[in-house]
């Protein structure tokens, strides 16, 4: 099969943690369009059989996965439009939608789960099967494969929240140096524990914190010899007075 696509070597491992979050790194991405047969590929792509599935694969080098997703969407739509106008090889894509047949790999792990995960953000769309599986596992069930009705005027996500509300599993501070983990028992239970603890408190949390910090400071000063107890301080004053000139004179008069 004749083609003019050039193979670009993809690294076997992603960049180091921290670097993967940057959208300004120039990286290579694999764009694939699923096929139902081994059709001749456009000049910029190669026809391949991957895991028993025929695809057109095109490698692009750009700044970040969001840009790669944009390139992928435009490539698919241009091929489809060309098929409608001129009956070219893109005619096999007529009647098909981008999100159903196009994927962009994520070797750099730019799509990651978080409490602020945005399904419609470009870098989180057109995910391949491996990335979808990874991110759903990271979310511990808070994300799922998108199955909402498709709207022509709106981009379609690969993942969506299982509920309407985003879930934040970060520990909740419920007292002085005390945290509650929402992943153990749920958010509602964590909030109830915080309310119960607040009701038992005899003074405000801020005042309680100030007193604890003051006690810690006083104990440290005593330990370092910078602050004596009240009794020791009074005994020292009496000893000084008795040894003074007026103290000795008063003792003789008695």
Checking if the pLDDT of 119 tops 90, the result is yes
Beta bridge partners of 34: 55
The structure's pTM equals 0.59
Residue of higher predicted confidence among 177 and 196: 196
5, 44, 145 from 35: Cα distances, Å? 18, 16, 21
Instruction: Give the H or E element holding residue 250.
Output: helix 245-253
Checking if the pLDDT of 12 tops 70, the result is no
Whole-number pLDDT of residue 200: 67
Extents of the domains making up the chain: 19-161, 172-243
- As a whole number, the mean pLDDT across the chain is 79
Helix (H, G, I), strand (E, B) or coil at 93: helix
Structure confidence by residue, pLDDT tens digits, 65-117: 999 999 999 999 999 999 999 888 899 999 999 999 999 999 999 999 998 89
């Amino acid at each position: 099969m004749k083609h003019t696509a050039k193979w670009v070597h993809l690294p076997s491992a992603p960049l180091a943690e921290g670097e993967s979050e940057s959208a300004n790194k120039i990286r290579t991405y694999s764009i694939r369009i699923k096929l139902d047969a081994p059709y001749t590929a456009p000049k910029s792509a190669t026809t391949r059989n991957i895991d028993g599935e025929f695809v057109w694969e095109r490698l692009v080098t750009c700044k970040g996965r969001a840009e790669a997703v944009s390139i992928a969407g435009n490539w698919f739509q241009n091929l489809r439009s060309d098929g409608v106008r001129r009956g070219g090889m893109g005619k096999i894509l007529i009647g098909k939608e981008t999100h159903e047949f196009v994927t962009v790999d994520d070797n750099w792990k730019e799509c990651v789960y978080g409490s602020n995960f945005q399904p419609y953000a470009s870098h989180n769309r057109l995910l391949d099967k491996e990335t979808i599986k990874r991110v759903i596992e990271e979310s511990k069930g808070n994300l799922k494969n998108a199955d909402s009705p498709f709207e022509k005027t709106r981009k379609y996500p690969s993942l969506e929240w299982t509920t309407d509300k985003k879930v934040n599993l970060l520990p909740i501070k419920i007292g002085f140096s005390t945290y509650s983990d929402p992943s153990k028992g749920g958010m509602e239970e964590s909030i109830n524990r915080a309310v119960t603890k607040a009701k038992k408190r005899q003074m405000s949390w801020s005042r309680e914190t100030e007193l604890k910090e003051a006690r810690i400071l006083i104990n440290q000063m005593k330990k370092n010899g910078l602050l004596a107890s009240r009794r020791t301080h009074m005994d020292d004053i009496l000893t000084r007075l008795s040894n003074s000139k007026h103290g000795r004179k008063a003792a003789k008069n008695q």
